[in-house]
Amino acid sequence: MDTFVQQLINGLNIGAIYALIALGYTMVYGILRLINFAHGDIYMVGAFAGYGLAYFIAANLGLAGASWGALLIVLVGAMITAALVGMAIERFAYRPVRKYSRMTTLITAIGVSLLIENLFVARYGGMGRGFPQLLNDRTYQLFGNAAISKSQILIFVVSIALMLLLQWIIYKTRVGTAMRAVSFNLNSSKLMGINTDAIITFTFALGSALAAAAGVLTAQYSPTIDPLMGITTGLKAFVAAVLGGIGNIPGAVLGGLLIGVAETMVVGYGANVGIASTYRDAVAFAILILVLLLRPSGLLGSTVQEKV
């Protein structure tokens, strides 16, 4: 029972990270029908931006060591940086090829991903580096032997807050309503006077900011970052988006949490049924194959019927 609770906490925690990243995949797909394969790298860019900022404020503002102020500056700064990078990618890589076939944009996305990864390897080297700890991490004992760390609580609190904020933007604001309109019908949206290019750019900014938050939060929990950290995590988040139903926002969150829990359950119980814990990374992709076979539209994905 203790193991179960512990693995559930760990699974939901890592799942929250996948969910934050999956939201970016699903929003961009919803609006452009594009799988943005560079999105996992934005998660990495966010972590590196946070790393740079942490050293910058330590040197220039005297905010060295763990403090809530430093954490807030690093988190928000990384989100803004990643949003700008995401907007630039959309503007200079995807927009010029948008008028061509979807295969062209897909290959462009793969190209952008490789470009970012290799630029970072060239600049920072392929070795992992320690992310400065901005949180006095400690562990809280729950009932039994289950425990939760401060950095895990931080992941829960920040990801839930960001998801609620996203929900508000998408369903309650003018720009959010326009995002939903553009995702349903691009040309009709243009005829309503919506600047669809601006809405698309905004969507990339939002998704990238969420991925960067995931990057900084992960770096508090497991503080090693490297230029290729976005590949596996990004792919798993992509699987999460497909599992939930790509294009569906609650689906991305559900998919992320499920993938996270499935992964930690394999670590916790896999040995009992002959699956080594080293298979944790394979779980997501096994799930992907199952989803594509059994329910290609995903758990919450469905086609909208036009009413008369």
Partner 1 sequence: MLLTQNSKLKTSFMLTIENISVNYGAIEALTNISMRVEQGEVVTLIGANGAGKTTTLRTITGLLEPTEGRILFEGKEIQGVATHKLVARGISMSPEGRGVFANLSVRENLQMGAYLRKNKTEIAEDVDTIFEAIDEIRSKGTTILLVEQNAHAALHHSDRAYVLETGKIVMEGPSKELAADPRIKEAYLGE
Among 60, 101, 141, 187, binds partner 1 (CB under 8 A): 187
Among 80, 177, 262, 269, binds partner 1 (CB under 8 A): 177
The answer to whether 185 contacts partner 1 (rule: CB under 8 A) is yes
What is the nearest approach in angstroms of partner 1 to the Cβ of residue 180? 6
Residue 98 identity (one-letter amino acid): R
Q: Which residues neighbour 109 within 8 Å (Cβ) at sequence distance 6 or greater? A: 34, 35, 36, 37, 38, 93, 94
Residue 91 or 180 having the CB closest to partner 1? 180
Residue 80 identity (one-letter amino acid): I
Residue 145 or 185 having the CB closest to partner 1? 185
Residue 148 or 175 having the CB closest to partner 1? 175
What are the start-end ranges of the E strands in the chain? 129-130, 139-141, 147-149, 224-225
**Segment contacting partner 1 by CB under 8 A, of 131-139, 237-245, 270-278, 298-306:** 298-306
Q: Which tokens sit at 249?
A: 């926002």
- Phi and psi at 118, nearest 5°, equal -75, -30
The answer to whether 101 contacts partner 1 (rule: CB under 8 A) is no
- Asked if residue 245 lies in contact with residue 301, where contact means CB atoms within 8 angstroms, the answer is yes
Residue 171 or 285 having the CB closest to partner 1? 171
C-alpha of 136 from chain center: 25
In order, the DSSP letters of 219-252 are HHHS-EE-TTHHHHHHHHHHHHHHHH-TT-HHHH
The answer to whether 306 contacts partner 1 (rule: CB under 8 A) is yes
- Burial degree of 151 (CB within 10 A; 0-12, 13-18, 19+): buried
- Asked if residue 87 lies in contact with residue 199, where contact means CB atoms within 8 angstroms, the answer is no
Angle at 13 between CA 284 and CA 143, to 5 degrees: 125
Residue 62 or 193 having the CB closest to partner 1? 193
Among 183, 208, 233, 264, binds partner 1 (CB under 8 A): 183
Q: Which residues neighbour 151 within 8 Å (Cβ) at sequence distance 6 or greater? A: 135, 137, 217, 220, 221
The answer to whether 192 contacts partner 1 (rule: CB under 8 A) is yes
Residue 41 or 90 having the CB closest to partner 1? 90
What is the nearest approach in angstroms of partner 1 to the Cβ of residue 300? 14
The answer to whether 195 contacts partner 1 (rule: CB under 8 A) is yes
What is the nearest approach in angstroms of partner 1 to the Cβ of residue 199? 10
The answer to whether 297 contacts partner 1 (rule: CB under 8 A) is no
Q: Of 222, 295, 230, whose CA–CA distance to 21 is shortest? A: 230
Q: Please, where are the H alpha helices in 270-307?
A: 280-294
The answer to whether 1 contacts partner 1 (rule: CB under 8 A) is no
Among 193, 273, 293, 294, binds partner 1 (CB under 8 A): 193
What is the nearest approach in angstroms of partner 1 to the Cβ of residue 259? 26
C-alpha of 83 from chain center: 13
The answer to whether 180 contacts partner 1 (rule: CB under 8 A) is yes
Q: For partner 1, how many residues bind (rule: CB under 8 A)? A: 23
Among 128, 190, 224, 282, binds partner 1 (CB under 8 A): 190
The answer to whether 104 contacts partner 1 (rule: CB under 8 A) is no
- Asked if residue 118 lies in contact with residue 231, where contact means CB atoms within 8 angstroms, the answer is no
Write out the residues near partner 1 by the rule CB under 8 A. 174, 177-178, 180-181, 183-185, 187-197, 304-307
